[in-house]
Chains A and B, each alone.
Chain A
């Protein structure tokens, strides 16, 4: 009975804490205009990825009278080799790219942080085994493997692509998280938690993880850019099947088909996806700058 009367109070305490956290995040973001710009850019991409494709028909209209048209009001970035609007291609192509990035980042971070935390906290045999696996994984060259894989697997869905990139990418995070865990576990508060008899999930989840949150969040954001580069690269190299509205394929066609490096006609076609990638990277870099302050209460509250 007492429990029921007290529960709301406890919930309200943690709700207050959460409210304070978001208020702190807001304060941190406001400190530098560049951070706000980063957030706006990222929100823009998110919107583009989620809703963008809905504004266009399944098959983008072609204007065969205007191949490689220069930028105009109707086609801000011109058209491609078959007269499709480049902007429409970038927007409809964004979903695949961004979803891949997201899936990769989640897998990289969940696997990397999970394995790193566990190995670092347990030490001993678990640590040796997991780190041996990590090292083996790190020695596998990613690109050649992807080349091999792509001959048997077409990666039609972004989730598959992200899954593979994520499985290839968690090694570095695991190593770094492990070494941080090793040093954190000697810190007084972790030792105190053990001395008080608190459970291992509590220590890992509540004591160690928050201290590594900025680092993990940063890695997550950086993994997004990594994944975008990787898959755009793969498509650019033509390793993966042709699909018109993919940023990498666009680059490929612009360079190899349209000769964007030698003539100016296909230049906008080349620049549009490049610009999108650069803008996304910029947005992420600007936001990463705030991570330390967001997750460190001292810097957040000041």
Chain B
């Protein structure tokens, strides 16, 4: 089990003449992922999803907050000692093209981490080769075909499977899949989603799924949780189906309203929330982060910051002063 409390991260960009510019990427994010559980982060570009994933994989530092991995608070350890813990969280890169070294065969790619693993656990050379084949089988690839090949000889979907197999070499507790399907051909996406779900069931690996495509979150498992992030803050959080079918935060509703409807197959929802375009000047200094774009903003929203909670008796948590259910999601068309 991995939990995080109040994670904040601000990037300092060295800007031109104006000197350093501060980009707050995460503003106090709480989360927790059970063993074998599934959590999906959704939100628009730049909201901090990737940053959080990278922090969990130990690839990025954070400014404040606490991460607890299997009961061990990371703040109690020195940076060097944290590495083995963070290694139990493996990042699946968005781009399977750049995630594999183009100059190395799949055999070489899997061999390196497995050799390390064998050394750590005192296993023999033969174990390495067996394990490589076993892992490839697990992700649905034919080892005989894949092992001697270079990445460019595989399709996008196969490459992403290899990336997942490589992550599994270190027996991780959690996979962070950052947009893991967005660069894969449409007809093959479901295969990767199904694989992630399968790994949860079979290996008890938990999956943190980062995406801007809300629909994919359902395919990691309906028992999962959905976190909606806006500008570094979690604005709505709850069971996947609840948040998708009964969103209460205007930002979540905007996201869901924006999803194209497959006319002919689906009937659009009765309502549609269209946020106003982001204009920096309209954003109040205090108050709700979404206030500048929110069509339902009131006086209160511009002066006070809403915090995550069950206000208004909603099933899911949300950070809005005026939560209201709106049917923005399409429904399946009844056979015509």
Contacts and interface: CB of A to CB of B under 8 A. Distances in A.
Determine whether A and B are in direct contact in the complex, meaning some CB atoms lie less than 8 angstroms apart: yes
Nearest to A213: B103
Contacts, number: 91
B102 A296 contact: yes
A90 to B, nearest CB: 40
29 contacts: A2-B126, A6-B124, A6-B126, A9-B129, A17-B108, A188-B98, A189-B99, A189-B100, A192-B91, A192-B93, A192-B166, A194-B59, A195-B58, A195-B86, A195-B91, A196-B87, A196-B166, A196-B170, A197-B84, A197-B116, A197-B170, A206-B104, A206-B108, A210-B104, A211-B102, A296-B102, A297-B102, A297-B150, A301-B150
Interface in B87-117: 87, 90-91, 93, 95, 98-105, 107-108, 112-113, 116
Contacts of B91: 191-192, 195
Interface residues of B, number: 37
Contact of A301 (B59, B125, B153, B163): B153
A3 interface: yes
Contact of A197 (B87, B93, B107, B152): B87
A7 B125 CA distance: 8
Given A192-B163, A213-B103, 15 more contacts: A5-B126, A6-B125, A188-B93, A188-B99, A188-B100, A189-B98, A189-B100, A192-B167, A196-B113, A197-B87, A199-B116, A206-B112, A211-B101, A297-B103, A297-B150
| Pairs A-B, 5 closest by C-beta atoms | A188-B99, A210-B103, A188-B93, A6-B125, A188-B98
A60 interface: no
Contact of B102 (A192, A197, A298): A298
A9 B91 CA distance: 32
Nearest to B99: A188
Interface of A: 2-3, 5-7, 9-10, 13, 16-17, 187-189, 191-199, 202, 206-207, 210-211, 213, 295-298, 301
Nearest to A5: B126
Contacts of A188: 93, 95, 98-100
A297 B59 CA distance: 29
Interface of B: 57-59, 83-84, 86-87, 90-91, 93, 95, 98-105, 107-108, 112-113, 116, 124-126, 129, 148, 150, 152-153, 163, 166-167, 169-170
A188 to B, nearest CB: 4
A2 B125 contact: yes
A301 B149 CA distance: 11
B126 A298 contact: no
Contacts of A197: 83-84, 87, 113, 116, 170
A187 B151 CA distance: 15
Contacts of A210: 101, 103-104
Contacts of B105: 17
Nearest to B147: A13
Given A2-B126, A211-B103, A301-B150, A198 B116 contact: yes
Given A10-B125, A297-B150, A297-B152, A193 B112 contact: yes
Contacts of B153: 301
Contacts of A5: 126
Contacts of A295: 103
